[in-house]
């Protein structure tokens, strides 16, 4: 790929420009806000202004409600040979696209699973997508050349392509991203009425729970509108759990001996289910995430050795809660185990070995046999023969993109 255009120079669009520019791709930056485009250009994401000729790929980095209209406009002007978007909702934009554009074979829906609590070009990072999943939602009309161009862009950004159907994607992000944002905003909104002295007691826990509430309200309004039904289903189930906890707390506050034991058990059950759910995030503690590699590091007798290792692992995105301590049954030796993507695992093992740690690779966790995926790619099981062919197209295009210098 030699040329690209990015339409919309916010956090994601500018980060895409920064990532691919490092590989020598000429990126043209377009935005209704000329200041945003010029800022992105000043950061090194490309050059502000439309290209003189049709580019290889255009990335439509606008809110979900605008994807269809912006794509139709850019396709009409002949901006690119292929197009993709980065909206965090796929079903509604896909309907708009199919209704408004004249040539659906050139379009591949996309969503990089990466972001920050800040928005705008100044928050952009060239490494924002490294080792992160990048969902692709091609349709039966999508051409192989268009898919290949998008796969090459994903590879240049250092991301892991994941093929999904748009409705499955929207249900997944409702649970893992959109509903959590609503919950964070609800908790943060409660702080408006809090007494001043309470904030002197605020710790990291409150900051962790409310951090993502800092997202752009207009963007999130658009996201929630586009994925309203799926988000409502998650919040409705959450409301049932909240009602049960409230009932248990009311019983405990009333100090009713008859119901006290049952209420305590209900609260403890919720807390335990919370831990079990937390452990499923990226195969936490078990290292069972798709495409992950399990590493084990032997710990010596030096005091504080585990703390030293955890501090070193933070540079590779591994936190204390991601590390499990295990002991050898025969020798009593202590080990630290953790999961990483294949790319980061290789870098971490090399760095740790050079520093004198005994680090070994246990096993990769790949997609199920016969799924059409390779290590680092987690396609859903195809729903029909047509979907199966899409999985083959994605993997073939991915391998072609990765083989290019």
Domain boundaries, the chain: 3-165+380-403, 170-281, 292-365
Answer with the residue of higher pLDDT: 394 or 273: 273
DSSP state of 138: -
- Residue pLDDT, tens place only, 132-181: 889 999 988 899 999 999 999 999 999 989 999 999 999 999 999 999 99
Instruction: Please tell me whether the overall predicted TM-score, pTM, comes out greater than 0.75 for this model.
Output: no
pLDDT at 372: 36
CATH of domain 292-365: 3.30.70.260
| Burial annotation 281-311 (CB, 10 A radius, 16+ → b, else e) | ebbbbebebbbbbbbbbebeeeeebbeebbe
- Asked if residue 93 lies in contact with residue 118, where contact means CB atoms within 8 angstroms, the answer is no
Position 41 scores a pLDDT of 95
- Dihedral Cα 156, 160, 169, 106, nearest 10 deg: 40
pLDDT for position 376: 33
Q: Which CATH architecture has domain 3-165+380-403?
A: 3-Layer(aba) Sandwich (3.40)
pLDDT of 363 reads 59
Q: Give the model's confidence band at 93: pLDDT under 50 very low, under 70 low, under 90 confident, else very high.
A: confident
Confidence (pLDDT) at 289: 52
Rounded Cα gap, residues 161 and 373, in angstroms: 10
Distances (CA, A) of 266 to 183, 234, 257, 277: 21, 20, 15, 16
Q: Mean of the pLDDT values across residues 25-38?
A: 95
Average pLDDT of span 296-302 = 82
Q: Which pLDDT score, from 0 to 100, does residue 388 have? A: 40
- CATH architecture assigned to 170-281: Orthogonal Bundle (1.10)
Neighbours of 235 (CB within 10 A): 17
User: Do the domains 3-165+380-403 and 292-365 sit in the same CATH topology, yes or no?
Assistant: no
Half-sphere exposure of residue 322: CA atoms within 13 angstroms, side-chain side: 22
pLDDT of residue 38: 95
Average pLDDT over the chain, rounded to an integer: 84
Percent of the chain having pLDDT more than 90? 50
pLDDT digits (tens, 9 = 90+) for 338-392: 888 777 888 889 999 999 899 998 855 443 333 333 333 333 333 333 444 444 4
95 or 118, higher pLDDT:
95
Instruction: Report d(CA 4, CA 216) in Å as an integer.
Output: 26
CA distance readout (Å), 173 to 99, 230, 242, 340: 24, 9, 21, 22
- Min mean pLDDT across 232-236, 266-270, 360-364 is at 360-364
Residue 83 DSSP SS3: strand
pLDDT at 330: 58
pLDDT of residue 85: 96
Kindly report, residue by residue over 179-228, the tens digit of the pLDDT. Answer: 999 999 999 999 998 898 888 888 888 888 998 898 889 889 999 999 99
Mean pLDDT of 265-285: 80
């Amino acid at each position: 790929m030699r040329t690209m255009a990015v339409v919309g120079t916010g956090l994601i669009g500018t980060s895409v420009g920064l990532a691919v520019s490092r590989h020598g791709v000429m990126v043209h930056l377009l935005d209704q806000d000329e200041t945003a485009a010029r800022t992105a250009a000043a950061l090194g994401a490309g050059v502000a202004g439309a290209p003189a000729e049709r580019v290889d790929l255009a990335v439509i980095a606008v809110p979900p409600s605008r994807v269809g209209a912006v794509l139709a406009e850019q396709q009409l002007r002949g901006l690119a040979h292929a197009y993709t978007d980065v909206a965090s909702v796929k079903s509604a934009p896909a309907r708009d696209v199919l209704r408004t554009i004249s040539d659906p074979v050139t379009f591949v829906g996309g969503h990089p699973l990466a972001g920050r609590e800040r928005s705008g070009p100044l928050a952009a990072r060239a490494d924002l997508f490294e080792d992160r999943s990048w969902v692709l939602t091609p349709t039966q009309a999508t051409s192989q050349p268009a898919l290949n161009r998008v796969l090459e862009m994903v590879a240049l950004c250092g991301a892991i392509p994941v093929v999904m159907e748009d409705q499955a994607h929207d249900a997944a992000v409702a649970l893992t991203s959109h509903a959590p944002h609503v919950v964070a905003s609800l908790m943060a909104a409660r702080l408006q009425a809090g007494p001043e002295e309470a904030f002197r007691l605020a710790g990291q826990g409150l900051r962790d729970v409310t951090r993502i509430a800092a997202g752009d309200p207009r963007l999130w309004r658009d996201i929630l509108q586009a994925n309203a039904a799926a988000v409502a289903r998650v919040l409705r189930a959450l409301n049932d759990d909240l009602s049960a906890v409230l009932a248990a707390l009311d019983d405990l506050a009333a100090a009713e001996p008859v119901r006290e034991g049952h209420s305590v058990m209900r609260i403890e059950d919720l807390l335990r289910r919370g831990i079990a759910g937390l452990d499923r995030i990226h195969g936490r503690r078990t290292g069972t995430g798709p495409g992950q590699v399990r590493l084990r590091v032997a710990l010596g007798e030096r005091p504080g050795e585990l703390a030293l290792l955890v501090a070193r692992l933070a540079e590779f995105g591994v936190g204390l809660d991601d590390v499990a301590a295990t002991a050898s049954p025969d020798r009593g030796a202590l080990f630290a185990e953790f999961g990483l993507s294949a790319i980061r695992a290789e870098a971490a093992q090399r760095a740790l070995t050079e520093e004198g740690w005994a680090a070994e690779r246990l096993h990769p966790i790949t997609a199920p046999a016969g799924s059409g995926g390779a290590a680092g790619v987690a396609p859903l099981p195809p729903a029909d023969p047509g979907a199966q062919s899409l999985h083959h197209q994605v993997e073939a295009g991915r391998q072609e993109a990765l083989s290019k210098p």
